[in-house]
Amino acid sequence: MSLTKEQIAQRIAKELKSGYYVNLGIGIPTLVANYIPKDMHVVLQSENGLLGMGPFPYEGAEDPDLINAGKQTITTVPGSAFFDSALSFGMIRAGKVDLTVLGAMEVSDSGDIANWKIPGKMVKGMGGAMDLVASAKNIIVAMMHTNPKGESKLLPACTLPITGVRCVKKIVSDLAVLDVTPEGFKLLERAPGVSVEEIVAKTAGKLVVEGEIPEIML
Partner 1 sequence: MNKVVANAADAIRDIQDGMVLMLGGFGLCGIPENCISALVEKGVKELTCISNNAGVDDFGIGLMLQKKQVRKMISSYVGENAEFERQLLSGELEVELIPQGTLATRCMAAGYGMPAIFTPAGVGTEVAIGKEVRNFNGKDYLMEYAFEADFAIVKAWKGDTHGNLIFKDTARNFNPLMAMAGKITIAEVEELVEAGSLDPNQIHTPGIYVHRIFQGKDYQKRIEQRTVRKN
Helix H or strand E encompassing 190: strand 184-190
182 binds partner 1 (CB under 8 A): no
Specify the residue, 75 or 152, whose C-beta has the smaller distance to partner 1.
75
Q: Using an 8 Å Cβ cutoff, are 50 and 80 in contact?
A: yes
For the CB of residue 129, give the shortest distance to partner 1 in the complex, in Å. 8
Question: Dihedral through CA 7, CA 208, CA 104, CA 156, nearest 10?
Answer: -160
**Cβ distance to partner 1 smaller for residue 151 or 166:** 166
Q: Which of 13, 31, 102, 129 binds partner 1 (CB under 8 A)?
A: 129
If binding is defined by CB under 8 A, does position 163 make contact with partner 1?
A: yes
Interface positions, 62-101, toward partner 1 (CB under 8 A): 62-68, 70-74, 76-97
Residue 26 CA to residue 48 CA, distance in Å, equals: 13
Dihedral (Cα; 35, 37, 41, 47), 10-degree rounding: 0
Q: How far is the CB of 184 from partner 1 (least distance, A)?
A: 19
Only segment of 42-50, 141-149, 182-190, 205-213 that touches partner 1 (CB under 8 A): 42-50
Helix or strand or coil: residue 89? Answer: helix
Residue 175 Cβ vs partner 1, minimum distance, rounded to whole Å: 28
8 binds partner 1 (CB under 8 A): no
Q: How far is the CB of 104 from partner 1 (least distance, A)?
A: 14
Q: Which of 38, 120, 125, 149 binds partner 1 (CB under 8 A)?
A: 125
Name residues whose C-beta falls within 8 Å of residue 190's C-beta, 6 or more positions apart in sequence.
175, 176, 177, 196, 199, 213, 214, 215, 216
Q: Please tell me which residue in 15, 47, 59, 197 is annotated as part of the active site.
A: 47
Q: Is 6 left (phi over 0), alpha (psi -120 to 50) or beta?
A: alpha
Question: Is 215 labeled as catalytic in the residue annotation?
Answer: no
| Cα angle 22-97-131, degrees, rounded to a multiple of 5 | 100
Q: Which residues are known catalytic residues?
A: 47
